Amino acid sequence: MSRFKPIAYNFDHSREELIDRFRQRIDRNDRTRLYKAERAELALHFVDRLQHCQSEAEAEALCKAEMDLLEEGYPIASVANKYLPEWRKVIEQAVEDGRLPTQSLAPNEFDKQYPHWGLKYLLYPNSVQKNLKERTTIANNQKQDNLKPIRADRFIQTARDLLAGRSPQEWEAGLLALTGRRFSEIAAKGTFEQVDHPYAIAFKGQLKRGLQDPDNEPTYIIATLIEATEIIATLERFRTHPRVQELADLDPVQINSRFNGSVRYHVRQRFEYSHLIPVLAGEKSVSVHNLRGVYATIATHFFCPPNQATHRFVQTHLGHMIGDDELTRRKNAGATEHYFHYFLVGAQGQPLNEKGILLDRFPPLPRFTQQPEAADEHLEASSTEINSDRSAPSTETADNLEPKELAMADRKQKQASRQPSRVTIPSELMHELKTLAARKFDLKKTATHAAVLEAVIDFLKDGAASTLPSSIESFGPTFQWFTQEIEQLRQQVAVAHQERDRALEHSETMKAEKQQAVAQLQSLQQKDSGTLATFKAESETLKAESEALKAENEALKAELVQFYQLRQMLLGEKGAPAAAMAESETRAIASPQNSSQPPSAESTQATRSTTKATSNGTAQPKGKTSSDPDDESPKRIMDDDTALEYMTQAIDLIMAWNDSPDREFNHKWYISVPTLQQLLRGSGYTASQPRVRMALDQRRQELDDHHLHHGMSQRHNVRHDLPITEDIVM
């Protein structure tokens, strides 16, 4: 069976036209240099030119020229990892179709043998490949040395919201996050079947393994981050959508080109722009590959046994290692190293390092791999022949055997005659029988052919009785699930009781505090009443004294008039009494110390503090002086570099304040534009909002990590009653 579909060698454009378009786009700096269809045509033109090569040197030069052409528009890493594989696939197909001859070439230094010159030389040398791999390794090491924090609860809830969205693109984005699968596997190429475990699915259709025969692709278990029933229901709704059904017969590249852009929009919108998944160093955005990394981290937290290495668990459920044989014999998959870029944190930013936290409530994930149907016990799905004596040697062969060998062959023949004959049944008939038996007898979909036949035989013997044992057995998982649900409900009820007790205790505390506040209020009211009565009594006393002083003053005035009248009579002065009295009153007003009652200290202070004369004769408000620093307006920072220096210092001070080990959560500060402006004003400076925002944007990733580490949101600062200058001063 051919691994490739036949390709029609029909050229819509000449090679020269395609190259001219390619170079024009390079000159214009277009983002797309060659479209998929154009690359496919160029690869066919290349095969056509390979046909005319008469020597290995000529083919090597042709391959070198083709690689140089691609390097005009793409970096070497893209040419090596993305575009050359497209050309090589077309060459392999041409060799298989007979369009290019199969050549017996000597193996290379690594004992690799190629069937044609094009496959041998359309490939970068090992030194280049090694250098590209080292660069990838260095970049991956940097990511693993700087893991990014992820909130598992927010990630899962966002994925659930996508499953409840309106479009199939949103559904697929949610499915990608919750299953860890690739784009084309969800869209069309993967097969998903429910198993007994509530958080597991049997998956078949792994890409990137070079398998082209769907019937022989292995099945393995993947973990789901929510209930598997919800995943299966969403998949059915997704794949029955008309827009998705159009993708069923397309290859992965075509599926990606038609559907990937709109799905990626939702991935970035919900996971990247919300700062739920930080962009990794060296990457431009959040991708489906990043979703697989977060999925692997959360699945490990949920289901990885504490005594199993994380790498072993992840490679099993991502499909890098499939089957017990691979897991036992092969070295751990290197591809798994590219999925350890995140760590989980709680609501307060605390690391969550536990593994397998759900294993006390649910059984471990099953390790199930499905082998091809033809290897199932005594049944072969290839023909209808019955061979009862396949082990018996032919007469011609027996005549050529030695006596000892002939005796051994005779013993084997006798043993084979005592064994049941091996029967082969068409696979279509066996599949139909297996499907009917699964519905009729409550058999698992993973039941062997022998189990299916045994159930059928039991049914033919006594149809009514045969379903009873299987029905009883089918209650096992249901009863287990029911028991787990009851236990979970009990735990929830216990938590509810605890919360109720805490609420009652809090209510009693609040009631006691209220009573204490009422008592304090009453005490204050009593004190205020006593103070008011005292004040009234003193006021009445002062009023009586004032009236007495007024009467005394009037008496003194009368005596003074009599004195001046007597003086006038004796000395003969005219108008003296009135003038003398006016002079006396003026003197009394100008010299308050001569009055019968001196002014109070309060009135004197009030008069003194009403205004203060300055050196130039102007008056200032109460409590202010010309040298008071608070009277000066903040100084605006005019130079950009100076402003950035001051704001950097302010940001560092706030971060150091928050990072203090003994700092309480409510005493920490969220770093924002108002916070920085307030801190700058407290130090006698001011800066515009655009400048402050620019300084924050320059350190956005660092600030996001800082806030996430401390569990602070944008509304965190409402917890503070006092300004930040009460805590921090520059």
Per-residue pLDDT band at 150 (split at 50, 70, 90): very high
Residue the block writes with tokens 């801190």: 679
Distance CA 23, CA 15 (A): 12
Q: Which residues pair with 694 in a beta bridge?
A: none
Looking at 110-119, 150-159, 374-383, which range is the least confident one?
374-383
Confidence of residue 205 (pLDDT cuts 50, 70, 90): confident
Coil, helix or strand for 342? strand
pLDDT at 100 exceeding the cut of 70: yes
Q: For the residues of 191-238, what is the DSSP string, one character each?
A: EEEE-SSTTEEEEE--SSS----GGGS-EEEEE-SS-HHHHHHHHHHH
The residue with greater pLDDT, 605 or 527, is 527
Spell out the residues 6+ positions from residue 151 whose beta carbon is closer than 8 angstroms to its own.
Answer: 276, 344, 345, 346, 347
CA distance 175 to 326: 27
The residue-averaged pLDDT of 573-598 equals 50
**Residue 400 carries which DSSP code?**
T
Place of tokens 């969403």: 234
Q: How confident is the model at residue 590 (pLDDT cuts 50, 70, 90)?
A: very low
Burial class (CB in 10 A: 0-12, 13-18, 19+), 690: exposed
Q: Which helix (H) or strand (E) holds 423?
A: strand 422-424
* Nearest in space to 440 (alpha carbons), one of 467, 465, 462, 478: 467
Contact 647, 676 (CB under 8 A): yes
Q: Which residue has the higher pLDDT, 488 or 636?
A: 488
Contact between 33 and 75 under an 8 Å Cβ cutoff? The reply is no
Between 545 and 285, the higher pLDDT residue: 285
Q: Which amino acid is at 443?
A: L
Q: Quick one: pLDDT band at residue 282, thresholds 50, 70, 90?
A: confident
- Residue 614 or residue 701, greater confidence: 701
Q: Are 345 and 351 in contact (CB under 8 A)?
A: yes
Residues whose CB is less than 8 angstroms from the CB of residue 680 and which lie 6 or more positions away in sequence, other chains included = 634, 646, 647, 650, 686, 687, 730
Q: How far apart are CA 625 and CA 615, in angstroms?
A: 11
Q: Taking the CA of residue 418 as centre, how many other CA atoms within 13 Å lie in the half-sphere pointing to its CB?
A: 5
- The more confidently predicted of residues 39 and 214 is 39
Of 420 and 99, more confident = 99
Rounded Cα–Cα distance for residues 339 and 337 (Å): 6
Residue 515 to residues 385, 502, 508, 512, 528, Cα–Cα distance (Å): 95, 20, 11, 5, 20
81-93 mean pLDDT: 90
Least confident residue range of 98-107, 461-470, 483-492: 461-470
Please report the sign of the dihedral spanned by the C-alpha atoms of residue 503, residue 504, residue 509, residue 514: positive
Structural element, H or E, at residue 636:
strand 635-636
* Most confidently modeled range among 263-272, 380-389, 421-430, 452-461: 263-272
Among 220, 222, 223, which Cα is nearest to 324's? Answer: 220
Give the C-alpha separation, 425 to 434, whole Å. 12
Q: What is the DSSP letter of 685?
A: E
Ordered strands of the 200-204 beta sheet? 191-194, 200-204, 219-223
Angle CA(253)–CA(257)–CA(262) in degrees, nearest 5?
135
Q: 229-243, 316-330, 424-438, 635-649: lowest mean pLDDT where?
A: 424-438
Residue 507 has pLDDT above 50, yes or no: yes
pLDDT at residue number 178: 95
Element (DSSP H or E) covering residue 96: helix 84-97
* Token output for 375: 């290897």
Decide: pTM greater than 0.85.
no
Residue 529, pLDDT above cutoff 80: no
Interatomic CA distance for residues 225 and 158, integer angstroms:
12
Q: What is the percent of the chain with per-residue pLDDT over 90, rounded to a whole number?
A: 24
Its CATH architecture, for the domain 147-344, is Orthogonal Bundle (1.10)
Tokens read off for 127: 């030194």
**Highest mean pLDDT: which range of 397-406, 416-425, 431-440, 720-729:** 720-729
Q: Which residues contact 539 (CB under 8 A, 6 or more apart)?
A: none
What is the structure's pLDDT at 113?
84
Cα–Cα distance measured from residue 230 to residue 161, given in angstroms and rounded to the nearest whole number: 13
Tokens of 585: 């009153």
Q: Which of 68-82, 210-224, 403-417 has the lowest mean pLDDT?
A: 403-417
Cα–Cα distance between 528 and 452 in angstroms, integer?
A: 94
The whole-number pLDDT of residue 184 equals: 84
Predicted confidence at residue 612, as pLDDT, reads 34
Cα–Cα–Cα angle for 125, 340, 238, nearest 5°?
A: 95
Lowest mean pLDDT among 596-600, 630-634, 680-684: 596-600
In the predicted model, what is the mean pLDDT of residues 543-547? 83
Q: Cα–Cα distance between 621 and 600 in angstroms, integer?
A: 23
Position 578 confidence tier, pLDDT thresholds 50, 70, 90:
low
Residue 440: name the closest of 452, 428, 431 by CA: 452
The backbone region for 425, taken as left when phi is positive above 0, alpha when psi lies in -120 to 50, beta otherwise, is: beta
User: In the structure encoding, which two tokens stand for residue 40, read together?
Assistant: 């496919």
Q: Give bridge partners of residue 678 from the DSSP assignment.
A: none
Over residues 302-351, the pLDDT tens digits come to: 999 999 889 888 888 887 877 777 777 788 887 888 889 999 999 888 99
CA distance 559 to 533: 39
CB of 369 closer than 8 Å to CB of 322? yes
Greatest mean pLDDT among 185-199, 297-311, 419-433, 485-499: 297-311
Whole-number pLDDT of residue 476: 47
**Average pLDDT of the residues of the chain:** 76
Count Cα neighbours of 438 within 13 Å in the Cβ-side half-sphere. Answer: 12
The share of the chain scoring above pLDDT 70, in percent, equals 74
Which of 62, 33, 64 has the alpha carbon at shortest distance from 48?
62
pLDDT tens track for 608-635? 333 333 333 333 333 333 334 444 456 5
Most confident segment among 116-130, 224-238, 493-507? 224-238
Question: What's the Cα-to-Cα distance from 473 to each of 2, 198, 715, rounded to whole Å?
Answer: 44, 18, 55
- Under the banding of pLDDT at 50, 70 and 90, the label for residue 502 is confident
Task: Output the six-digit token pair for 410.
Answer: 């005779």
101 or 393: which leads in pLDDT: 101
pLDDT at 436 over 80: no
pLDDT, position 343 = 94
Phi, psi torsion values for 201, nearest 5 degrees: -140, 140
The count of other CB atoms within 10 Å of the CB of residue 253 is: 13
Please tell me the predicted confidence (pLDDT) of residue 549. 86
Are 111 and 47 within 8 A, CB to CB?
no
- In whole angstroms, how far apart are CA 39 and each of 46, 77, 83, 88, 530? 10, 17, 8, 12, 98
